[in-house]
Each structure stands twice: as structure tokens, then as C-alpha cells.
Structure 1
Amino acid sequence: MRVARLTMIAATAALLGGCGAVANEDQNSDISTSTTRTTATTPRTTTTPEGARTRRDSANDEGGQKVVGGPGSPAVTGATGADTATVPSTQQGVPAGGVAAAGTVGSSTGAALALRPFSSNSPWNTAVENAAIDRRSRQWITGAQQRLGVVEQAGRAPRRERRTINAGLFINTRRWTVPVVDEEGAVPTRVVCRQLPPYCGDGARVTSLLVPADESPLPQYDGWFTVINRSEGVAYDLWRARRGRNGNVISYQFMRKWDLNGPGFQEPNTVSARGSGLPLFAGLIQPEEIQAGRIEHALAISLPGPAQRNYVQPASSTDGVGQLSSIPEGARIKLRSSVTLASLNRRVDARCDDPAFGLTARDDGTVDRSVRRSACTPYRFPGRTNRKAAEALISALKRYGAIVVDRSRVPTLYAKLNYDWSQPLRDPQGRLLDGNGRALTQAQLNASGDVSTPLLRGNEIEGLKVSDFEVVEVRGNILKFPALNSVTAQSSQGQTRNPNGQTFTPGIP
């Protein structure tokens, strides 16, 4: 039997000397390529079938660039949506606002990020509902849905393949998302970098952090971990973190320190625990927000095909592996005003009128119908799903939009990992509520099986597709993430930040 293997273009780009990533790991591949002399990369082995996305979180293609030091979060200029004036620091955070919670659920671990972080005029906290649309929006949105790869078959030359991802927008709640802790219930915990000091980011002089003893990073999901220190007004993002066997030491491979009063992004060509150089905890969906039915900040989103090497601020680097003509990391997308929860019901892709749409011939002569099934099955809002949460998310995606922070197997938003999102919706009297916030009837309560509605399942807005979004106008230059032996960022117009300039391997058009 012939076995076809899809290896994402990250591997090809790295072999050609492009992309600029330390390691490009892909959920569809058993290959991991490294372009530095730092510690070896272990490929991920956990994958998520697209058909199981309502039960398990979407796989993240996090590779990232984790070896360059740099400032934590200086007040620099942004290029997406809001004015590009220097972002000053302000008093810590702004209340997220909200209305009385529709239900009573358990509290999260700590009060981490009950107030939205960063300055009020940070890109994360500025509305874009009336912002102009970028002239490249249609082209970028098309590219964002396309994954590039190399198909290898025994006895045949490798060939490039482009796949269009029509999957709906999923919310990671249990895997490939970020645990966030703060001082509540925390104890001083020793932290140790597993690399040489120059490659540790901001962790070279940090020897201890306040971390609850019962909270730990999950190394199988890139070891993302955020530690909030409210008294100092800072947060620490860790990458490839894990707690030692004795429990009182957390080791990591990179740390970035963020000013909670700052702009929420960095100078160009500065890396972080994310491939885009942005904070792990920025744009994260919080339990308090879902309970209140209101989200007052931009969300973080990952897409299947962000551009290789190109990025725009507020991103400061990229791990994109898509076409150069695709959307750059750091761009902000917003939901079209015509899209509502009601408009999604029974919706079918207009291209389904073409009987040949979504059908692909396989090498063995059979026909792959997966794209057609995904796009042409009428959407129905799932049962036992929180409609109030869906409405809050749709409202936030229209008002604040989402900033592209990473690449992923399917379009993905992120919810706080260390919270029990399965807790049922209840009213103040403790009665179980349905997805519309109404108390369950006695007949519903007597029905067999689980009749409760979880606070968040992950499929609340799976009826949304990338094509439902448009790109907010980018006002700054498109920057290039340079080779690893450089500290120079180059714009797409060929202007460099120092006289030496840069030479880049040709990209994939």
C-alpha cells in the first residue's frame, strides 16, 4: 500500500534557509527541522482529526523563534487598525465591563486577568468596528485558508500541494492554549532556563516566580505558561516549561517579561513565547467574560496559512509558512457586520451549487469529498451549547476583531486552559439553564443523559469561517522576519533598519 505523507512547507522553507524559525513543528508531520545550534526539537505526536474538533481542541502548529533576546514591551508603534502614534503606558488595565452573569459557576484559579491587560490605547484594547478595510483583504483572507505542503511518496519525486481549509472557527479550551496564574495561593517557585543565558530571553536574571503549587505547565502542548505579578504590574510568558519531579522547580527554554501597563507588543524583530512575538495571554478568552456575556478586547486568532517571513505590527516576528501573498501575522481581522448567529443557521457555502466543488481526485483513482462535506452540510447550532457565549464572541469579533498571532491546523481562538469550562450554566438560585439562559423544565431535567449546558465547549461559533472576516487596514509597512544571524528587520519596500540590509531566500509566491 502506498503511503502519502504531508510535510508542511515549513520543512522545505527551513531547508532552503528561509522562514527564520528555530524549529518548525507540524501536527501533520513526523519531521522537525532545526536551523540553529540550540537544543534539539522533539516533534509533537498528538494530532486532532478535523471531524473530532467538537470534542478535542484544534492542533496548533506552534514553532516560533525563541533564541533572540530583546526588550520586554517597549512603547513602539503599531500598524493595524488604530492610529500609529506611540502607545504610552497608562494605569494598569481597564475593567472589562460586563453585565450580571447569567449563571453561577465556580471561580477560576486566581483572579488572573480579571481586568484586561495593557494600556487603553493598546491594539488589544482599541475598537475597529468602523475601521477601513485593507485593499488586500480578499487576497489575504484567501491565503489564510490555504496550507502549503510537500507530498512524498515512495518512488516518486516530492511535489508541492496546496490544501484549502474550510473548517469552522474553534476555541481551544483544554489543549494548545495558555494556563494563566497569579499571586493568589502562590508560593515562591524556582525557575531555571535550560539554555545558555543569551538564549533565555528575559529570564537570565529571574530565579523565582510566584506560582501556585497545584498549577503546572503542560510540556506536551509547547509548555506555554503565563505568570501574572500584579504587585509589580508585569507578566512572564514561558515557552517549553515543565515542572520538575520534586515539584518546587519549573524549567523552561524561553521567557518574555511583559509590562501590564504597556502597549502589549514589542519592537520589530523581537521574539516571544509565540511565533508572532506577541504575548501568550493577550486576546485570551476569560471565564469572567463568558459569565458576563461581554468581551471588551481583541481576541487572539491562529490561522492555517499566515504568510512566511512577512509580518506587520503589533507582531514583531513570524512563524508563518504560507504564501507570501497571504495574510501576515499581526494583521487584524474583523467579522463582517452582516454575520449574526441567526444568519449562520442552515447556511451552506454558495459554491456548493457547483456539483464539482470540493471534489478532489486521489492518486488511487478515488475521490476525496471531505471539502464538499465540510462546506455543503447545512450548519445547525449544536445542542447544549451556550448561545450567550456565542453572541458575546461574535460581538467582540465585530467590535474589536482578532489579531493573527500564530498558525494552526484550523482557525482557532484561545480560552484560558486552567479553568473547568465544563461547569454547567446555572441561575443565581442554582437552577440549570439551557443554552439561551432559560431554566430547564422538569421534563428536560427528567430526560436521560446529560441535559446541562457547559459554560464553554469550543464549538460555540464553529459556524463561522475565515471567509466571514475582512482585514482591517494595515497602515504601516510589511516587515520581514530576517535570518537568525541578524538583528535587522526589512520592509517589503526594501528599506532596512540599518545600513547593512538583508538578503532573503526567495519565498513561495
Structure 2
Amino acid sequence: MNRQDHPHYRRTGPVPVSSPPTRPPHRRVRRRWAVLLSVVLGVQGGWIGSVALAQSEPPTPSATASPDPAAATAAPTATSTPSRTAEDPDPTSTATPTPTRQPDPSGGPRPAQRTVATDLALRPFAADSPWNTPIGAGAVYSAADDVVTRSLVSSAGRATINSTAWSVPVAIAGAGDPTTRVAVSSGITADHRMPPDARGSADTDAELAVIDGSHSYEYWGLTGGSGGWSARFGGVVDLTGSGTTGGVRASGFSLLGGLIRVADTRAPIDHALVVALAADQLRTGPVLPARSEDGDAASSYSGAVRMGTHVAIPRAVDLGSLHLSQPALRLATALQDYGAYVGDRSSQLTLYAEPDAEGGALQSMRDALRTELAPLLRVVTAD
């Protein structure tokens, strides 16, 4: 998720100032970042370190996704245009007919919504967070021939799941781990416990999510070790909250939101996933639960799917008829029961797994996503 500050951007807000370098396939392409504010994060019962990473609250986007297509496809190039927000007018939008809606005919039982997270490190965020809320029995989906659906599935044949690179390692701090200071940007620092062997992702993004108690400390461009740590960007996310603000994805989502964890390769996936799309699939103007988008969105997005859009496999699809492996069926079931939220930009339709999840089960999921599941995805237009 190469941020557009690296090294071609200087973040004083969500305004890119020059073009990012060419990125290889499957690499997450980035983005915007909120202004980092020097604050101290207070929590009930005490203080968590001397945190100086702010959770930004940009203007609230509209609550529903629009299937209107954007203008003709354009190559992703950054300009000095500020990041678009949902309150900004879309100069390219034109009136288009309302797409055909397909009601969920099954009326079948839905998975029970989780009420208590027994371990925030493994199952983060509130029970009513979008990540933990099943799709309702009366959900309505975009039609297969809608412009927004065609844009969504246009890279389905190249769909993938990133894990060992261009994804998110997760480090869980224990009571005995040392308190570590991470210098982020212009003298801003964050103090929290961190395992000594924690490292950023094995790519130039160097991302890491460090879980310390009820908070996730999230970094991009992380470097260092025993001699000290620094990062280009960072955020702190309350794991008892929604998981949709304060993170370092283009959408503002937490890096933990929608991430496939090791346990998800062995047991049912009981949460929504996060999906990234290419610039020619995305449209400017984020919708809830997203609150932001890439800094160069106005010049690079040329598709029909907005950041924050909820997508899923319609309930009418008989997953049993696909004859999937058990790991692939778990992924398919999650995409049908919970769906995925568009939260980032990549070079094609991409899901994310922590590196330790890599193995035969994840590869089975990856293969099924590309050949069977991604083409079935539709936008959830009402739930």
C-alpha cells in the first residue's frame, strides 16, 4: 500500500503533490493520510502510553453507495488536487437510471450477530461494528448487468489474497514485552508495548499492526529495531469501537478490519472482509463506513465503485453447487453471510490475510476467489 508520500509526497494533509512510482502486480497502491495531531489517548482506567497519534474524523460521507459510473478510464497519476470527500460535488457525475434491484429470495436464517468479543486480539471491534454485523435476510443486491457490478467484477479473473507481502503482519504485545517508542512523522511519537521480534511487512510498505491491550497501533513505512523505531505514518484504533476510523487504509479503516487471520483458515470466518480494487474500478466520493479515499482519487479513479461500498455473494447463490474445498467454502460463506467492504486500492480485486495465515488452506481460498467467487460478487444496495 505504497503511500503517496513515499518519497514523492509530503503529507501536510490529504494533498498529494507529485506522481507515485510504478507499482508491481498485487501491490497495494496508496493513498491519502489525515493530518497527524499530537494528542494523548485517554481510556477508562488509565492512560495508554504517551500516544501522539490522532484518530481523524473527516466529513461524514453519504450512507449509501451510488452505482453511477465515473468518466472514462484513466491511468492512476497523482496531481495536486486535494482528496475528495463525500461532501464535495462530483464534477463528472451525470444522472443515470436506478439499477435493477434483486431481492434476497431465500428468507433463510442469518448468522447470529456476535455479542461478546472474548479476545479483542483475535476478534476485534464492537458487536455492532460493520465488521461483525451479518447481512440481513432482506438484503438487496445489484443486478449482474448493472454498471457498478460490471466495474466490481472486471478484475475478477486476476483476484488474489495478499499475505506474505503487501499485507499486514499482526504483533500481539504481552505483559512482559518492553514499552517501545515509535517516532512517526514530524517528531510525533507513540509509546506502547511491542514484542521484540515484531517487524513490518516484507515489502516497501513495511506495515505493522501492534495490538497492545484494547488498542491497535498501526504503522506504514516502519523501520528500526533495538536501536529505535520510526514510521512514515501511523494511527491508533480502539478495538472496542467500530474499526472504521483512525486506521491507515485509504478508507480510514483499521488494518485489522476484514483481515483474514490464522484462525480463519481453520474455522468459520465470522466477520466481514476488506477488499481493495484497482483505480479503474473505483469512483470518487466515499460512502459509509468509509470516510476517506486516496489523495489522488479525483485524477486516478475512473470506475463505478465507491470506497466503503459493501459487496457480497447474494444469498440466492447455492454455495454447495460450487463443490468447493472446505477452506474455500469458509471464504465463500463469509462473503455471503458478512460480505466485504471496499477499503483500499490495489492493482486488481484483492483480499488480505496476515502472513502467518499463508499455507495450503489460504491458497485454496485464493484459487477459489479467482475462479469461482469473485465473479459472483454484487453490491449490497439495501440491507
Q: Does 1:142 align with 2:150?
A: yes
Within 5 A, what are the aligned runs for 1:243-322?
A: 243-244=224-225, 247-266=226-245, 272-292=247-267, 294-304=268-278, 305-319=280-294, 320=297, 321-322=300-301
Determine if contact 1:80/1:332 at 8 Å carries over to the other structure.
no
Report the 3-state secondary structure (helix = DSSP H, G, I; strand = E; otherwise coil) of the residue aligned with 1:471. Answer: strand
Match of 1:455 in 2: 361
Report the 3-state secondary structure (helix = DSSP H, G, I; strand = E; otherwise coil) of the residue aligned with 1:284. Answer: coil
Kindly provide the CA deviation profile for residues 120-176 of structure 1, in whole angstroms up to 9, marking residues without a partner as x: 11111111152433668822222335xxxxxxxxxxxxxxxxxx5342432112111
Choose between structure 1 and 2 for higher RCO, CA contacts under 8 A separated by at least 6 residues: 2
Which residue, 397, 403, 411 being the options, matches 2:341? 403
Match of 1:473 in 2: 381
Determine if contact 1:238/1:254 at 8 Å carries over to the other structure.
yes
Match of 2:215 in 1: 234
Q: Quick one: distance in 1 between partners of 2:321 and 2:129?
A: 32
Q: Quick one: distance in 2 between partners of 1:276 and 1:286?
A: 20
Kindly provide the CA deviation profile for residues 259-317 of structure 1, in whole angstroms up to 9, marking residues without a partner as x: 11112223xxxx7411111111111111112222x011110111124434310111110
Kindly provide the CA deviation profile for residues 61-113 of structure 1, in whole angstroms up to 9, marking residues without a partner as x: 23333545485288x899369xxxxxxxxx99525xxxxxxxxxxxxxxx873
Q: Which runs of 5+ in 1 are unaligned?
A: 1-20, 26-31, 49-57, 82-90, 96-110, 146-163, 198-203, 346-380, 382-386, 423-453, 476-509
Determine if contact 1:237/1:273 at 8 Å carries over to the other structure.
yes
Q: Which runs of 5+ in 2 are unaligned?
A: 38-52, 66-113
Structure 1 counterpart of 2:285, which letter?
A: N
Q: CA distance change for structure 1 residues 455 and 36 in 2, over 3 Å: closer, same or farther?
A: closer
Q: Quick one: distance in 1 between partners of 2:115 and 2:177?
A: 21
Structure 1 counterpart of 2:330, which letter?
A: A
Match of 2:315 in 1: 337
Q: Quick one: distance in 2 between partners of 1:33 and 1:340?
A: 47
Match of 1:127 in 2: 134
Q: Quick one: distance in 2 between partners of 1:93 and 1:227?
A: 22
Kindly provide the CA deviation profile for residues 408-429 of structure 1, in whole angstroms up to 9, marking residues without a partner as x: 1121111112x1633xxxxxxx
Q: Does 1:224 align with 2:130?
A: no
**Displacement, 1:465?**
5.3
Determine if contact 2:8/2:20 at 8 Å carries over to the other structure.
no
Structure 2 counterpart of 1:472, which letter?
A: V
Which residue, 190, 202, 205 being the options, matches 2:181? 190
Q: CA distance change for structure 1 residues 22 and 295 in 2, over 3 Å: closer, same or farther?
A: closer
Greater gyration radius: 1
Q: Does 1:210 align with 2:210?
A: no
Q: Quick one: distance in 1 between partners of 2:56 and 2:117?
A: 18
Determine if contact 1:129/1:334 at 8 Å carries over to the other structure.
no
Q: CA distance change for structure 1 residues 131 and 78 in 2, over 3 Å: closer, same or farther?
A: farther
Q: Quick one: distance in 2 between partners of 1:285 and 1:187?
A: 27
Q: CA distance change for structure 1 residues 404 and 190 in 2, over 3 Å: closer, same or farther?
A: same
Q: CA distance change for structure 1 residues 139 and 40 in 2, over 3 Å: closer, same or farther?
A: closer
Report the 3-state secondary structure (helix = DSSP H, G, I; strand = E; otherwise coil) of the residue aligned with 2:265. Answer: helix
Q: CA distance change for structure 1 residues 253 and 464 in 2, over 3 Å: closer, same or farther?
A: same
Report the 3-state secondary structure (helix = DSSP H, G, I; strand = E; otherwise coil) of the residue aligned with 1:256. Answer: strand
Determine if contact 1:306/1:407 at 8 Å carries over to the other structure.
no
Q: CA distance change for structure 1 residues 34 and 214 in 2, over 3 Å: closer, same or farther?
A: closer
Structure 2 counterpart of 1:236, which letter?
A: Y
Match of 1:94 in 2: 117
Q: CA distance change for structure 1 residues 412 and 420 in 2, over 3 Å: closer, same or farther?
A: closer
Q: Does 1:394 align with 2:332?
A: yes
Q: Quick one: distance in 2 between partners of 1:243 and 1:295?
A: 34
Count of aligned residue pairs for this structure pair: 306
Kindly provide the CA deviation profile for residues 221-265 of structure 1, in whole angstroms up to 9, marking residues without a partner as x: 4121111112xx111111211225xx3422111211111111222
Q: Quick one: distance in 1 between partners of 2:322 and 2:135?
A: 23
Determine if contact 2:277/2:350 at 8 Å carries over to the other structure.
yes
Q: CA distance change for structure 1 residues 92 and 127 in 2, over 3 Å: closer, same or farther?
A: closer
Q: Quick one: distance in 1 between partners of 2:136 and 2:311?
A: 10
Structure 2 counterpart of 1:456, which letter?
A: L
Q: CA distance change for structure 1 residues 119 and 272 in 2, over 3 Å: closer, same or farther?
A: closer
Identity score, percent: 26
Report the 3-state secondary structure (helix = DSSP H, G, I; strand = E; otherwise coil) of the residue aligned with 1:220. Answer: coil
Structure 2 counterpart of 1:165, which letter?
A: S
Q: CA distance change for structure 1 residues 389 and 465 in 2, over 3 Å: closer, same or farther?
A: closer
**Displacement, 1:220?**
2.5
Q: Quick one: distance in 1 between partners of 2:318 and 2:127?
A: 28
Determine if contact 1:300/1:405 at 8 Å carries over to the other structure.
yes
Match of 2:30 in 1: 62
Report the 3-state secondary structure (helix = DSSP H, G, I; strand = E; otherwise coil) of the residue aligned with 2:125. Answer: coil
Match of 2:80 in 1: none
Structure 2 counterpart of 1:414, which letter?
A: Y
Determine if contact 1:189/1:209 at 8 Å carries over to the other structure.
yes
